């Protein structure tokens, strides 16, 4: 678990500023950071975009950890955390479903299941955002492989926002 926590704490802390500025997240009313870990990315987003609301969805212990950090950051009025499983039905109706560094640890079959859950929850009006390193550092799938994966899950790449080594793929339902 220690190794997992180290990963959670270092990489998003390093990349969050780039992800925050790669897209106008404030244009979305609310987001769910699916598998959002300790809330580092969501906290950075809520700090940058004062009208944005958001929730981390993660396994119970991690969600509790994220909730405490979001509270401590003074963001409880716009942010929180939900205990959940991204293989199950997700809360519907948010405008953005973020998957940051989540698909990298999953084989194609599991990744498609997670993507489908997000797509179902996003519906016609929401979007799914896959955030992954696509350059050298720790890249598990490059951009063409990620594109093929999301298309095989029935999603369309509407745009790719460049955040340096990190890519933000904006996806919509077909």
Closest distance to ligand SAM from the beta carbon of 7 (Å): 6
Region of residue 154 (phi > 0: left; psi between -120 and 50: alpha; otherwise: beta):
left
Nearer to ligand SAM (CB atom), residue 102 or residue 168 = 102
Is residue 119 within 8 Å of 56, Cβ to Cβ? no
Is the CB of 45 or the CB of 155 nearer to ligand SAM? Answer: 45
What minimum distance in Å lies between the beta carbon of 96 and ligand SAM? 14
Contact residues for ligand SAM (CB under 6 A)?
7-8, 11-12, 35-37, 41, 58-59, 62, 85-87, 100-102, 105
Closer residue to ligand SAM in complex, CB, 53/106: 106
Task: Give the position of tokens 């699916």.
Answer: 34
CA 101 remoteness from chain centre: 7
CB of 58 to ligand SAM, least distance (A): 5
Answer left, alpha or beta for residue 2, where phi above 0 means left and psi between -120 and 50 means alpha: alpha
Question: Which two structure tokens, joined as six digits, stand for 35?
Answer: 């598998």
* Residue 57 Cβ vs ligand SAM, minimum distance, rounded to whole Å: 6
On the CB side of 11, how many CA atoms lie within 13 Å of its CA?
19
Q: Of 85 and 125, which has the nearer Cβ to ligand SAM?
A: 85
Give whichever of 125 and 162 is closer to ligand SAM, judged by the CB atom.
162
Smallest gap from Cβ 61 to ligand SAM, in A, equals 8
Closest CA to 43 of 61, 58, 56: 56
Spatial contact of 114 and 106, defined as CB atoms under 8 Å apart: yes
């Amino acid at each position: 678990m220690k190794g997992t926590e180290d990963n959670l704490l270092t990489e998003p802390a390093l990349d969050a500023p780039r992800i925050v500025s790669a897209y106008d997240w404030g244009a979305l009313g609310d987001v769910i950071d699916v598998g959002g870990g300790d809330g580092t990315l969501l906290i950075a987003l809520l700090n940058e975009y004062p009208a944005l609301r958001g929730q981390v969805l993660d396994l119970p212990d991690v969600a509790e950890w994220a909730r405490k950090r979001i509270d401590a950051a003074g963001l409880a009025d716009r942010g929180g955390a939900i205990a959940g499983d991204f293989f199950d039905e997700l809360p519907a109706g948010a405008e953005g479903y973020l998957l940051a560094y989540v698909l990298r640890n999953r084989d194609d079959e599991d990744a498609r299941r997670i993507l489908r859950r997000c797509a179902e929850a996003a519906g016609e009006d929401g979007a799914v955002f896959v955030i992954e390193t696509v350059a050298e550092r720790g890249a598990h799938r490059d951009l063409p492989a990620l594109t093929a994966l999301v298309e095989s899950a029935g999603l369309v790449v509407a745009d790719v926002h460049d955040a340096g080594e990190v890519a933000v793929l904006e996806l919509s339902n077909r």
